Amino acid sequence: MNQGNVILSVIKKAEDSSEYVLRLYESQGTGTTVTVTLGGNISSLYETNLLEENISSRSYSANTFSTSIGAYEIKTFKLNMGGATPGPTATPTPTPTPGGATATPTPTPTAGPQDLCTGGTITASGENAPNEDRTKAFDDTTSTKWLVFASTGWIQYDFAGTAAYAVNSYTITSANDATTYPGRNPKNWTLQGSNDGSSWTTVDTRTNVSFTSNYEKLTFNFSNSTAYQMYRLNITANNGGSEIQLSEIEMFGTSGSTPTPTPTPTPTPGGSAIQVNLSSYYNQDGFSYDTNRADGAYDPGASPTSCYSADLLTSNPSFGGVAYTLGPKTDGSNNAIKGTGQTITLTQGQYSSIRFLGSATNGDKTGTFRINYTDATYTDVAVTEKDWCTSNTSGQNVVQTMAHRHRGTADQTLNTYVFAYYLTPTAGKTVASLVLPNDANTHMLAITLVP
C-alpha cells in the first residue's frame, strides 16, 4: 500500500466462499486515497460490510485497486484472484500508537492452525453497542474492540449448528489503547466449556496476566480433550479500572462430536441417595401462604416483596427419579438459601451427581459452584440459573410450575418455576463440601447427593 497511515489489518478467506477478505483501517485521523497492490491479478472485487455482505462492485486494474478512506474509517473488501496465484501477499502495516510506539495488528493466520470462531453466536454480560459490542471480539480485526462497563464480565461463543470442538489453545489481543487505559485490561479469568449453556466446566484458569502494549496478542495453551459446543471467557478481575476491553479472541483445537452424557444411575426407593439437611444454612424466607402473603421475601430488594406460594409449592418434589425435601413453610421460617459465597458441608462420599433445586431472581444468573474434595482439590462448575418467572423454559429441568406468586399482599398471576441443576464431581474423588456463588440473586432450595 502507498499510504503509511492506512493499515491492512486482516487478510483471510471469506466465511462463506473461496474469496479473500481484506480489511483496511485509517489510523491517524487523516482521510486519503490508498492504492493496494496484490501478489496476483484480481478477477472480481466488492466492497462489503463487516459481515462480509457485498455493498457494491469496485473497479480494479490487474493486481491493484484504489479507494478513498475517511479519518479512522474501516473498509472491507472481498475479492477473487485470477489464475493460480495463491492469494494476497501484502504485509500488515505497523500501527502508530500514542507516544510514538509502534504495534502491529495481527491478522488472522491463513496458514497453520485456523481460528474456530466462525459463523457462531456471540453473547456477553454487557457491551458498548454499537461500535464496541460483543461481535467485535470475534470479527477478525484488531482495529475494533469489545468494551463492557464493569470490572468483571464474560463473553461467550457458541459454535454454529451442532459443531463442537476440543479447544486447547486460545489468544487474546489487547485493545488499541491498552497502554492508555491499562486498568481495563483483563487480569484474571477462566475459560469454560459447556454443551447445554447451563452447566459449565472450567478448562483453563489464568491469574495476574499482564498486557504491556497495544494490540498485544497473548497465546494460552492447555490440555483438553473434551469437545464443547460453547466456550465462555469469564473475566473475574481487570487491572483496577471500571471497564473491561479487548480487541480479539481466537480459539484453536480439534473437532469432535458433542459427548453424550453418561446416564446417571437412578436410585431405587430406599436406595442410598442422600438428601442434605440444609436447616442450618437457610438465610431467607422464600415461601408464604395465602393467609399471610407478605411473610416471604425471595426476591432481594424488591418492593413490594415477592415469594413463592406455599399453598402451591410441593414440599417433597421428585424429578428424574430423585427425591428432594424443601424447607419449612411455616410463617417466619427461613427455607431458602441465597448465595453469599458460603460453604455447605456435605456427607463425605463419592457421587456421580450433586443435584439441587433452585432458581434466580432479577434475570438469569451465572455463578460458579466449587466442589471441594477431601484431598484438598476442587472442581469449579459454572451454572446458569434461570429466573424464577422466566418466559422461556426451553431446555430447562422444570420441577414445578405454579400459576402465581405472592407480591406484597396480593397474588400476581404469572408462571413461577423451580428448576433442577446437576453438578458432576470428578470420578473417584471423595466430595467434602460445596461452595455457593457470592450472588444474592442465586437461590438454592434443596440438595440431593446421587451415588
| Cα–Cα distance for residue pair 128/136, rounded to 1 Å | 10
pLDDT band at 24 (very low <50, low <70, confident <90, very high): confident
Q: Are residues 13 and 158 in the same domain?
A: no
CATH number at residue 34: 2.60.40.1180
Does residue 335 sit in the same domain as residue 415? yes
* Cβ-proximal residues to 94 (8 Å cutoff; 6+ apart), any chain: 7, 102, 103, 104
* pLDDT given at position 100: 39
Residue 292 and residue 410: Cα distance in Å, rounded? 10
Over range 419-448, report the average pLDDT.
94
Check which CATH number belongs to the domain holding 131 and give it. Answer: 2.60.120.260
Q: Containing domain of residue 187, as a range?
A: 121-256
pLDDT for 54: 77
Give pLDDT tens digits for 147-186.
Answer: 999 899 999 999 988 899 999 999 999 999 999 999 999 9
Supply the DSSP string of 33-97, one letter for each residue: EEEEE-SS-EEEEEEE-TT--EEEE---BTTEEEEEE-TT-EEEEEEEE-TT--S----PPPEE-
Mean pLDDT to the nearest integer, 218-242: 93
Same domain as 151, residue 15? no
In a shared domain, residues 252 and 279: no
Q: Is the pLDDT of residue 99 over 70?
A: no
Q: How far apart are CA 34 and CA 37, in angstroms?
A: 10
Same domain as 26, residue 150: no
Which pLDDT band holds residue 34 (cuts at 50, 70, 90)? Answer: confident
82 pLDDT band, cuts 50/70/90, is low
Residues 282 and 201 in one domain: no
27 lies in a domain? Answer: yes
Q: Which residues contact 163 (CB under 8 A, 6 or more apart)?
A: 120, 229, 255
Query: How many structural domains compose the chain?
Result: 3
pLDDT for position 351: 93
Collapsing DSSP states into helix, strand and coil, what is residue 240? coil
Q: For 36-68, how does the pLDDT look when each residue is reduced to its tens digit (9 = 90+)?
A: 888 788 888 888 877 777 777 777 888 888 888
Residues 361-388 pLDDT 10s: 999 999 999 999 988 889 999 999 999 9
182 domain residue, yes or no: yes
In a domain, 193, yes or no: yes
CA 27, CA 24: separation in Å to the nearest integer? 10
The per-residue pLDDT of the chain, averaged, comes to: 85
Query: How many angstroms separate the CA atoms of 37 and 84, rounded?
Result: 17
Residue 116 lies in a domain: no
Q: Are 310 and 368 within one domain?
A: yes
pLDDT confidence band for 213 (50 / 70 / 90): very high
Does 195 lie in the same domain as 76? Answer: no
Cβ contact 336:298 at 8 Å: yes
Sign of torsion, CA 9 12 15 21?
A: positive
Model-level pTM? 0.44
